[in-house]
């Protein structure tokens, strides 16, 4: 990979200058000489030299990789021009997943309360988690994807209570999770709600005893139809009732109580409670004490999260798993008392939870360190994402202010079908293409933005088929596939016939593997999404290039040798777009 090879060469040269630094190489601006460049302004203070002088000295010390034709000092930058033959050869090289390396990464995402249909806020969680799992897998990591089912929570209890209390029976005309969700909203809008707490508590206790699992599972199966429609994948389901039954909380507390930072104060506001002093690991806290078990004996959510994390990373055992009967995921396994014992022992975890849970996730990492495993604390990553607004408003499931994922999929497919019927009335499979385009529009809208930036979900923007959207990238793929379909077989490319247009397209193709690795290392799919937008734009610029009013880059009618080179680049581009879309969970239509 070109950029990383350049960065390593620069690193070695800087070490000779007494600086053990790694600088980032980036594309050079189009109006400057060279293909890549590195800024040197940050070194001026360290080396007590102007950046221009550093560029000259660095050039003299660099052991350049063989693919570099020239190092070019440009002001406070050192730029690099890649040999055209090497550039084209790298762009034409078939790409595939990176070799696997040791160490399991456990990814938890979705984890929707099993009480109602999924809404747009859940959509961002699923799109981020599923995309990152695919990216990490391609980047060489062993991945296990987990979906946590809180079947003992108050939301599930309220829905089951409402279904019974109002005597509701399902007529099959709507998805069961929508039916259950309407009961949940009705309960919260009922003026008698404060007087119904006793009945809700009874259902809650029954759930804790594992008595109503089939009723919860009925809602979960309906939710899974939506997850499957979103092209999300999972390996394990873990039910909270099984965590309770396995005594993981008690086991985790026994581990933590061995730490001097976990204790029971005898007086003051925390008297009788089991508290954790997080100050050694989370500095600057106004109150460093966090309650794990209240004085009355009830455990807090902090404690439950810590116990689950301990199991994920192999500090606890006790859960059992068996195949999960469902029509969507044949290989899916679920926790169950009668299953086979299994503990993941992950070296790294990624918990996809919105940014409002940043503090509890920091406490999870602190608990791992308190338990004597700072290396596991470092491996516990919180993929924090901002919330999703609905047409500028915060969503609320209790108030019924939300757009369901099923509605969004249906509306997106309707709009996509209308566009396809207008632009390509002879399309051989309009409905299937509309489904693929709709999924591309929705998932791309959720991952193209940096996770910590809020999304305001608006139909007109999210379902747009132009600009920085999934369908824009899908159309670039379909256009490339159309050329290849017409080309048939072709022979040897003549790299010597390459024009600046081929060079520019090859440069765009070069950064795919870099984008995948950066997305994996930074644990954010938006890096790959932005690369795909840039690549699609480069392809469109190449395809539409004109000289004196005539096409400058015809592929099928190009002279022999150049035709083969252009077809090779188009094939590499088509495969790169297809793979990149797959890593974001988006299908790549061959015809649009």
Query: Comparing 345 with 464, which gets the higher pLDDT?
Result: 345
In DSSP notation, 270-287 reads: TTTSEEEE-TTTSTT-SS
Domains annotated on the chain, with CATH = 2-82 (3.30.1360.70), 104-394 (3.40.50.620)
**pTM value surpassing 0.85:** yes
Q: How much is the pLDDT for 1?
A: 87
> Average pLDDT of the chain?
95
pLDDT of 403 reads: 84
Can you give the pLDDT at residue 345?
A: 97
Which burial class, exposed, middle or buried, applies to 340 when counting CB atoms under 10 A from its CB (0-12, 13-18, 19+)?
Answer: exposed
pLDDT per position as a tens digit, 200-244? 999 999 998 889 999 999 999 999 999 999 999 999 999 999 999
> In which residue are the tokens 């440009």 written?
74
Average pLDDT over residues 251-277: 95
**Residue in the block written with tokens 């005597």:** 167
Token duo for residue 102: 């040791």
pLDDT tens for each residue of 405-440: 999 999 999 999 998 999 899 999 999 999 999 999
pLDDT value at position 465?
72
Report the percentage of the chain scoring pLDDT > 70. 98
Q: How confident is the model at residue 392 (pLDDT cuts 50, 70, 90)?
A: confident
CA distance 74 to 284: 44
Q: Under a CB-based contact definition with an 8 Å cutoff, are residues 544 and 536 in contact?
A: no
Which residues share a beta bridge with 78? 38, 73
Q: Is the pLDDT of residue 85 over 70?
A: yes
Q: How confident is the model at residue 387 (pLDDT cuts 50, 70, 90)?
A: confident
Look at residue 399 in the predicted model and tell me its pLDDT.
62
Give the whole-angstrom CA distance, residue 383 versus residue 153.
Answer: 23
- b/e string for 266-281 if b means 16 or more Cβ within 10 A? eeeebeebbbbbbeeb
Q: Is the pLDDT of residue 398 over 70?
A: no
Give the model confidence (pLDDT) of 283-309 as tens digits.
888 899 999 999 989 899 899 999 999
Q: Give me the pLDDT at residue 466, please.
A: 79
Q: Locate tokens 């199991």: which residue?
A: 311
């Amino acid at each position: 990979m070109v950029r990383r090879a350049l960065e390593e060469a620069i690193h070695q040269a800087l070490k000779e200058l007494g600086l053990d630094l790694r600088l980032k190489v980036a594309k050079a601006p189009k109006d400057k000489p060279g293909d890549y460049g590195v800024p040197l302004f940050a070194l001026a203070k360290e080396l007590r030299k102007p950046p221009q002088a550093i560029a000259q000295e660095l050039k003299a010390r660099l052991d350049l990789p063989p693919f570099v034709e020239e190092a070019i000092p440009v002001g406070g930058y050192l730029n690099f021009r890649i040999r055209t033959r090497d550039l084209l050869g790298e762009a034409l090289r078939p790409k595939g997943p990176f070799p696997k390396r040791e160490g399991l990464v456990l990814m938890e995402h979705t984890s929707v309360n099993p009480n109602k249909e999924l809404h747009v806020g859940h959509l961002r969680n699923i799109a981020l988690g599923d995309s990152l799992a695919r990216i990490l897998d391609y980047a060489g990591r062993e991945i296990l994807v987990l979906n946590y089912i809180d079947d003992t929570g108050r939301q599930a209890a309220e829905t089951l209570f409402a279904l019974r209390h109002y005597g509701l029976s399902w007529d099959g005309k709507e998805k069961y999770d929508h039916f259950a969700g309407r009961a949940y909203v009705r309960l919260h809008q009922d003026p008698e709600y404060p007087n119904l707490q006793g009945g809700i508590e009874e259902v809650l206790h029954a759930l804790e005893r594992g008595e109503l699992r089939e009723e919860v599972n009925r809602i979960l199966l309906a939710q899974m139809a939506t997850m499957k429609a979103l092209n999300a994948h999972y390996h394990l389901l873990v039910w909270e009732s099984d965590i309770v039954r396995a005594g993981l909380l008690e086991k985790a507390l026994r581990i933590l109580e061995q730490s001097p930072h976990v204790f029971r104060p005898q007086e003051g506001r925390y008297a009788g409670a089991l508290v954790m002093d997080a100050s050694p690991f989370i500095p600057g806290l106004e109150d460093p004490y966090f309650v794990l078990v209240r004085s009355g004996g009830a455990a807090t959510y902090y404690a439950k999260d810590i116990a689950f994390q301990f199991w994920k990373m192999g500090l606890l055992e006790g859960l059992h798993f068996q195949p999960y009967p469902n029509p969507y995921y044949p290989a899916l396994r679920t926790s169950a008392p009668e299953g086979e014992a299994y503990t993941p022992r992950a070296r790294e975890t990624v918990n996809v939870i919105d940014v409002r849970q940043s503090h509890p996730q920091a406490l999870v990492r602190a608990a791992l360190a308190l338990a004597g495993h700072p290396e596991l604390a470092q491996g516990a990553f919180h993929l924090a994402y901002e919330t999703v607004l609905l047409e500028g408003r915060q969503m609320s499931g209790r108030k019924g202010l939300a757009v369901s994922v099923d509605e969004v999929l249906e509306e997106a497919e309707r709009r996509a079908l209308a566009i396809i019927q207008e632009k390509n009335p002879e399309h051989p499979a309009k409905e299937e293409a509309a489904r693929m385009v709709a999924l591309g529009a929705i998932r791309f809208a959720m991952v193209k933005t940096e996770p910590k930036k809020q999304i305001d979900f608006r139909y007109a923007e999210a379902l747009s088929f132009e600009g920085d959207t999934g369908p824009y990238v899908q159309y670039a793929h379909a256009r490339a596939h159309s050329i290849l379909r017409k080309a048939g077989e072709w022979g040897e490319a003549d790299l010597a016939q390459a024009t600046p247009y081929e060079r520019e397209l090859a440069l765009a193709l070069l950064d795919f593997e870099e984008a995948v690795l950066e997305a994996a290392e930074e644990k954010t799919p938006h890096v790959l999404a932005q690369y795909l937008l840039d690549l699609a734009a480069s392809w469109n610029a190449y395809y539409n290039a004109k000289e004196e009013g005539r096409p400058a880059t015809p592929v099928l009618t190009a002279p022999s040798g150049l035709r083969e080179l252009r077809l090779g680049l188009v094939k590499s581009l088509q495969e790169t777009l297809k793979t990149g879309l797959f890593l974001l969970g988006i299908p790549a239509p061959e015809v649009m």
